[in-house]
Amino acid sequence: MIHFLNQLPDQHDGVFSKDTTSFLDLGCGNGSMLFTLRENGWSGQALGVDYSPQSVQLARQVCVAKAEEVAQSGGEVLPPVRFAEWDIMNGSYETVRARETGSESENYRAWDIVLDKGTFDAVSLSEERTESGRRLCEVYPERVLPLLRKGGLFLITSCNWTEDELTKWFAVGSRDGEDGGEDGASREEGRFVPAGRVQYRTFSFGGVKGQTISTLCFRKV
């Protein structure tokens, strides 16, 4: 995924600049993905959110430890990464908005890139349903949409779903026949369209090729 992201500045004529592109990591765990992005030169706003308070606490501790390590070694000081406890299915969007770049006021905006590495997989395993009877995985794409600005990218990595299945969840089925309401966003929030994929090593079984992990990129339009 990191290699895919590092190619974005060249592929999109600087729209996704390493200096300004903002990242939101859904289900950040110990924050390793965002720390790796920092190490690869991505210096824009970065926020990691997780349902688990223990994960958020650990990520913050790792962030402090990394900052102390840099200070002691005299290395380049990287912009801090923020972490917050947040429930993707029920949390308020105001908690996770990106701050306006270069603004001293409390103005907020949507994110340039949203990352999901296993969170949708976890949500898909839940048998819980909304008040209207929908499974949480059916609502999930609608919950992600408002987090992104128009033209922003959503990168999702899954070990449970194939590329075709992910496409049906996010680019085909996520908006069909639904008006949103209490379960998610309205149609005004736009939709996802396929925008790329990460190529992994494949294997063959019974004459069919496959891979154990899928990473797709969707653009909000």
Instruction: Report DSSP letters for 55-102, one per residue.
Output: HHHHHHHHHHHHHHHHHHHT-PPPPP-EEEE--TTT--GGGGPEEPTT
Residue 183 has pLDDT above 70, yes or no: no
pTM here is: 0.88
Per-residue burial over 97-114, b if 16 or more Cβ lie within 10 Å, else e, is bbbeeeeeeeeeebbbbb
The domains located in the chain, with CATH, are: 2-220 (3.40.50.150)
Distance in angstroms (rounded) separating the CA atoms of residues 127 and 112? 31
In whole angstroms, how far apart are CA 103 and each of 106, 107, 133, 179, 187? 8, 7, 42, 34, 30
pLDDT of residue 181: 45
- Look up residue 152 and give its two tokens: 């922003």
Q: Is 207 helix (H, G, I), strand (E, B) or coil?
A: coil
* Region of residue 66 (left: phi > 0; alpha: psi -120 to 50; beta: else): alpha
Q: Which residues contact 3 (CB under 8 A, 6 or more apart)?
A: 198
- For residue range 66-123, what is the model confidence (pLDDT) as tens digits? 999 999 999 888 889 999 999 999 999 998 988 765 545 455 689 999 999 999 999 9
